Structure 1
């Protein structure tokens, strides 16, 4: 099994530090297991993105990006589950299921392809029997209204561009695990 692997670093611990702001959710919570509805349909889930709401971001914020990353995926590079870009400043709450494409109620924002190869949210699906995986949901407060990226951009390319425009970041880290079969 994968259980004896070292724990990967949190992705934001290796980037330049930025201030934090408030991120809350009715659906997911720090260090607590996510419900099956937020898991990928390949493991019996509903593949829904959780509800997220944020506040107290810097006054200089001009837009947002929302991401979900599993640093514990056995890939050597983690696994991107969701990268939603160009979220307008007026949007500070995403309803459950907003990770669909096109993103409902998110004012022109769009998702780039995740590591499943599709645009939108792709739910948790760690290997059966592996330790609990961390799912790092982050809202990035940006100093620009829009990132110069396209739906076919990779999550790494978005992350590279986003790093230079991030004023602050808010994070929730729930977990998910599939029991051994």
Structure 2
């Protein structure tokens, strides 16, 4: 799958003493920087009526030394500013460069070894946006480049524990921030 053909490029070139080098980036045909999140990716429950389908994401130009990836969806505006983990996928092999749309709900859609941990709704997998009525929140879709082959996490691990471990092993991040309100 080559999402580059279907998505406006988010690639930025950084000047360096030796010329130009491409920055680590994430892109998606489903989620665009600063745009509203479509109902296909909104939670279905708690008064929200979406399809709860995880978006397609592709990443390029990871930092040197990357040994695995993780993908997260985080709402920094939820829970009185304490944040809310909507999706955490860890142990994505370094050879992987994308997740298809809806991958969260199809066990065989993830590369071997990848693990979805519990989100803050209390279950493993993707849980789309569902902020309180009358508010709009930001949702950060982040690909983490990690300096380890895997993290010792399973499907029962919570988002806060996963985030702690991710921060301890991160060497680069690429992010798309989108919005949703109802």
Report whether the alignment pairs 1:135 with 2:139.
yes
Q: 1:103 to 1:48 in 2, by over 3 A?
A: farther
DSSP 3-state at the match of 2:118:
coil
Q: CA deviation at 1:105?
A: 3.4
State the 4+ residue runs in structure 1 displaced beyond 6 angstroms. Answer: none
What residue is the counterpart of 1:80 in the other structure?
85
Report whether the alignment pairs 1:106 with 2:111.
yes
Work out which of the residue numbers 56, 70, 73 in structure 1 matches 2:75: 70
Work out which of the residue numbers 54, 64, 87 in structure 2 matches 1:49: 54
Deviations 1:47-79 (A, max 9, x none): 011110000111210000000000111344211
Question: CA contact under 8 A between 1:30 and 1:173: conserved in structure 2?
Answer: yes
- In structure 2, what is the Cα distance between the partners aligned to 1:133 and 1:140? 22
Comparing both structures, which one devotes a greater share of its residues to helix? 2
TM, length-normalised to structure 1:
0.83
Structure 2: gaps of 5 or more residues: 1-22
Q: 1:156 to 1:91 in 2, by over 3 A?
A: same
Comparing both structures, which one devotes a greater share of its residues to strand? 2
Deviations 1:91-123 (A, max 9, x none): 111100112263613222111110011100001
What residue is the counterpart of 1:123 in the other structure?
128
Deviations 1:147-175 (A, max 9, x none): 11122111111111111210100000011
How many equivalent pairs are there? 158
Report whether the alignment pairs 1:168 with 2:172.
yes
For the aligned residues, what is the CA RMSD?
Answer: 1.3
Deviations 1:27-55 (A, max 9, x none): 00111001001000111100011110000
Structure 1: gaps of 5 or more residues: 1-19
- In structure 1, what is the Cα distance between the partners aligned to 2:122 and 2:41? 18
